[in-house]
A and B are shown apart, each in its own frame.
Chain A
Amino acid sequence: MFNAVPATCFEPVDAASASWPAAPTPNATNPASARDEAALTDLLRHPGIWRRRSAPAATIATQPSGHAALDALLPGGGWPQGALCELLVEHDGLGECSLLLPTLAALTQARRRVVLVAPPWIAYAPALAAAGIDLRQLVQLDASSNNTHWSIEQCLRSGCCGAVLGWLPRTDYRELRRLQLAAETGGTLGFMFRPLAAADSASPSTLRLRIGTVQGEPQLELLKCRGRVGGMVGMRLRA
């Protein structure tokens, strides 16, 4: 029966009316409206209904992304810790990897290990060093395509890596679910790069970012984000 509950129940409500459990207003003069309100209150009391408050209640562990605009977009002000982030990229060279550089620099400087699994090109050490990444903490893993998922899962699950970056040209929901669970188990940041064509398929990831171009200008767009409340969904990648 709760499929029939109108979707407007999940729309933001203002703080005054969201003081749940809401009691019927005592000075209601119209009996019909008072009855409706009581019925609504009863309905809303059902545990199956979740009403979003004006402020996000859940506090999630995050890792600052190092970009103020992006931190403002993401709930908790950064990359969700122990979760999978998908970056769906239209082309190489839009600044999709540079987006992660401040995070990776912060992690490696805090002596946490970062693993790159099956990168498509050479991750260029001079550029990484210039971005402040401690190369001693960086490990690259060359895995054949049928071992990529396994390797990423092992690294995520182990909990001894700060972040795992994986490039997955082909994957499916089931594999991503495994990776998501592994990231939760190990409390590791997992960044998965996928082609933009995967944006239409369902995904269990906590965060999905679309990185494409609008009129030749690279744009970042939040496709999915757990725990987000309203606000902007996109930003420009280049200042």
Chain B
Amino acid sequence: MLWLCLRFPRLTLDALQTTASAVDARPCAVIDGPMPSRHIVLADAASQAAGVRAGQPLASAQALCPRLRTLARDRAAEQQSLQAFATLAWRYSAELCVHAPDSILLEVGASLKLFGGWPALQRRLRSELAHGGFSCQIAAAPTASAAHVLACAHGDIAVTTMSALHSALTTLPIAHSGLDDKTIDALHGMGLRRLGELFRLPRAQLGRRLGAAMLVRLDRLRGLLADEGARWQPPAGFQRRIEFDSEVTSTTALAFVLQRLIRELALFLLARDGGVQRFGLVIGHARDARTRIDVGLLAPQRDAASLFELARARLERCALPAPALSLALHADELPPLVPAHQDLFEAHARSTLDWPALAERLRARLGDDALHGLACHADHRPARAWQRIAPALGARADSSRASRSDPPADATSFTSAPRPFWLLQRPLALRQAPQRILAGPERIESGWWDGHDQRRDYYIVELRSGQRAWAFVEAGTQSPWTLHGWFA
């Protein structure tokens, strides 16, 4: 086992500074606590140089450093950042715990080889975590508690064997051992300074004096007792919102932000090994007004480029009613993704875009209803003998599943009489009398039960212009002729 502790020592400050829009060169510090007794939680390097320390009352800090810029602590933002890092780290190990308030623990020993060994993994993690401007310490140890304690005490350190861990712990000051303050004070009062001295003391007496909880803690540090911690699970949905510094009026500018959101979504989906079938974009305007754009896909996807292309097409079709102040992406349904498998011996290998991708692209630009299939319907009335159906979805429409789900009646015509290629949406009066009657009459009489009763005699006729038409007269009459289709 090799546990990593990713510790963000400046999380309280870094979480605030990503949302703070203006870059301010003044020394700053995060403050917390009720109004009369506000105190410093974390001071940056500039204010520390002026003598500001964590735990100081706000008044004394301001006396030491009059230019101090204070930021109120935002625990929600810290939690959100930590969750985002957990999502990122989830890609390396599923054995992951979020250790409040500022650390993430993950077990990487099992998949160390996969990621190219410890140095490569460390480099990779660092470059990914450094992306948001957060400072991070990475410590490795054979037990989770030890990794956390070493990260707090030493920052970046890698202890990979049990014996090295033992010697590292022996020299560790008790003040950094992660024990509670009361115990540390008591141990200091006994003249104990290092963990090694504590380990040498008789166990039973130590337990009686300082409580069994401390013994458990020490055992966990040394790996004598298994670590316990709630296994972290990635969130069920994806929500991300980006606020703009100024009003955005063009959808082109929004597309840039959208690209960033989609990239984050794709990373999230990759980590979850899921896809997205339906997501929403919410454009925020002034005074809490919102524009919502829903993007629905025919099948789950997670490829960033194609998701972006589809979402952008929808975004560009939407007219902004007012300047935008924020853009949010919500994806609540994340169905499992079944990657399309392709035929090794595909005869038509020239395909540059597969059918689902093409269908998505067409739907994104033309609207969800633009694409449809055709089917026969069991009705004698010509206008009802066909119907629109949802288009076939399979990458190749020959999937046996699709053919099984289609009722066989839909694939074949209800009648064997000749039918025209074109049917007119609405029958038209035939301006000229037909020159020749080629076939007919075919009496079609149906629909008395649903109020759309039809009694017609259909003929295949040829007009003077050489066109062949499907025309009808009311049953039993000779005129007027009405045109209903073309034998095109």
Q: Tell me the A residues contacting B by CB distance below 8 Å.
A: 91-98, 101, 111-113, 119-130, 134-144, 147, 150-151, 154-155, 157-161, 185-187, 213, 216-218
Question: Which residues between 124 and 162 of chain B lie within 8 Å of chain A, taking CB atoms?
Answer: none
Cross-chain contact A94 with B467 (CB below 8 angstroms) = yes
Cross-chain contact A121 with B425 (CB below 8 angstroms) = yes
Question: How far, in angstroms, from A77 to B358 measured CA to CA in the complex?
Answer: 31
Q: Which of B62-70, B165-173, B271-279, B363-371 contacts A (4 or more CB under 8 A)?
A: B363-371
Chain B neighbourhood of A94, CB < 8 A: 466-468, 488
Minimum distance in angstroms from A165 CB to a CB of chain B? 11
Which of under 10, 10 to 19, 20 to 34, or 35 or more describes the interface residues of B?
35 or more
Minimum distance in angstroms from B225 CB to a CB of chain A? 59
- A selection of 30 A-B contacts at a CB cut-off of 8 Å is A91-B465, A93-B463, A93-B487, A93-B488, A94-B468, A111-B396, A123-B421, A124-B385, A125-B376, A125-B387, A126-B385, A127-B413, A130-B416, A136-B403, A136-B411, A138-B374, A139-B373, A139-B392, A140-B371, A140-B373, A141-B362, A142-B366, A147-B366, A155-B358, A157-B353, A158-B351, A158-B354, A158-B357, A159-B348, A213-B465
Minimum distance in angstroms from B61 CB to a CB of chain A? 63
Chain A neighbourhood of B485, CB < 8 A: 121, 124
Cross-chain contact B464 with A139 (CB below 8 angstroms) = no
Cross-chain contact A127 with B351 (CB below 8 angstroms) = no
Given A135-B373, A142-B366; A97-B421 close (CB under 8 Å): yes
Given A137-B392, A155-B358, A157-B352; A97-B422 close (CB under 8 Å): yes
Question: How far, in angstroms, from A231 to B315 measured CA to CA in the complex?
Answer: 55
Question: How far, in angstroms, from A147 to B376 measured CA to CA in the complex?
Answer: 28
Cross-chain contact B488 with A92 (CB below 8 angstroms) = yes
Cross-chain contact B425 with A141 (CB below 8 angstroms) = no
Secondary structure class of chain A's binding surface, majority of residues: mixed
Choose one: B348, B370, B397, B419; the contact of A124 (CB below 8 Å): B419
Instruction: Please indicate which of the listed interface residues B358, B396, B464 has the most CB atoms of chain A within 10 Å of its own CB.
Output: B358
Question: How far, in angstroms, from A128 to B362 measured CA to CA in the complex?
Answer: 24
Choose one: B382, B386, B398; the contact of A111 (CB below 8 Å): B398
Q: Mark B400-444, 1 if CB is under 8 A from A, else 0.
A: 001100100011111110111111110000000000000000000
Question: How far, in angstroms, from A154 to B353 measured CA to CA in the complex?
Answer: 9
**B229 beta carbon closer than 8 Å to chain A:** no
Chain A neighbourhood of B413, CB < 8 A: 125-127, 129-130
Question: Which residues between 303 and 356 of chain B lie within 8 Å of chain A, taking CB atoms?
Answer: 348, 350-355
Q: Tell me the B residues contacting A by CB distance below 8 Å.
A: 348, 350-355, 357-358, 361-362, 365-366, 369-377, 382, 385-388, 391-392, 396-398, 402-403, 406, 410-416, 418-425, 463-469, 485-488
Minimum distance in angstroms from B144 CB to a CB of chain A? 51
Instruction: Please indicate which of the listed interface residues A139, A141, A161, A218 has the most CB atoms of chain B within 10 Å of its own CB.
Output: A139
Minimum distance in angstroms from A200 CB to a CB of chain B? 21
Cross-chain contact A111 with B397 (CB below 8 angstroms) = yes
Choose one: A121, A141, A213; the contact of B371 (CB below 8 Å): A141
Question: How far, in angstroms, from A154 to B55 measured CA to CA in the complex?
Answer: 64
Instruction: Please indicate which of the listed interface residues B374, B377, B385, B397 has the most CB atoms of chain A within 10 Å of its own CB.
Output: B374
Cross-chain contact B486 with A92 (CB below 8 angstroms) = yes
Cross-chain contact A122 with B353 (CB below 8 angstroms) = no
Chain B's closest residue to A112 (CB) is B348
Given A94-B488, A121-B423; A160-B358 close (CB under 8 Å): yes
Minimum distance in angstroms from B194 CB to a CB of chain A? 70
Question: How far, in angstroms, from A37 to B202 measured CA to CA in the complex?
Answer: 120
Minimum distance in angstroms from B67 CB to a CB of chain A? 59
Chain B neighbourhood of A154, CB < 8 A: 358, 361-362
Question: How far, in angstroms, from A216 to B436 measured CA to CA in the complex?
Answer: 12
9 closest cross-chain pairs (CB), A and B: A93-B467, A93-B486, A125-B386, A121-B422, A126-B413, A213-B466, A158-B353, A111-B398, A127-B419
Cross-chain contact B350 with A124 (CB below 8 angstroms) = no
Question: How far, in angstroms, from A125 to B422 measured CA to CA in the complex?
Answer: 9
Further pairs besides A124-B422, A136-B411, A158-B352: 19, Cβ < 8 Å:
A94-B488, A95-B488, A96-B488, A97-B422, A121-B423, A121-B486, A123-B422, A124-B385, A124-B386, A124-B423, A124-B485, A125-B375, A129-B376, A129-B413, A130-B413, A139-B391, A139-B392, A141-B370, A159-B351
Given A142-B366, A187-B350; A137-B397 close (CB under 8 Å): yes
Choose one: B366, B398, B406; the contact of A141 (CB below 8 Å): B366
Minimum distance in angstroms from A190 CB to a CB of chain B? 15
Cross-chain contact A136 with B392 (CB below 8 angstroms) = yes
Chain A neighbourhood of B388, CB < 8 A: 140
Question: How far, in angstroms, from A32 to B464 measured CA to CA in the complex?
Answer: 64
Chain B neighbourhood of A218, CB < 8 A: 466
Minimum distance in angstroms from A111 CB to a CB of chain B? 4
Chain B's closest residue to A128 (CB) is B374
Minimum distance in angstroms from B63 CB to a CB of chain A? 68
Cross-chain contact A126 with B373 (CB below 8 angstroms) = no
Cross-chain contact A160 with B376 (CB below 8 angstroms) = no
Question: How far, in angstroms, from A213 to B468 measured CA to CA in the complex?
Answer: 12
Cross-chain contact B414 with A217 (CB below 8 angstroms) = no
Question: How far, in angstroms, from A150 to B366 measured CA to CA in the complex?
Answer: 10
Chain A's closest residue to B352 (CB) is A159
Chain B neighbourhood of A147, CB < 8 A: 365-366
Minimum distance in angstroms from B198 CB to a CB of chain A? 70
Cross-chain contact A113 with B355 (CB below 8 angstroms) = yes
Chain A neighbourhood of B465, CB < 8 A: 91, 213, 216
Chain B neighbourhood of A155, CB < 8 A: 358, 362
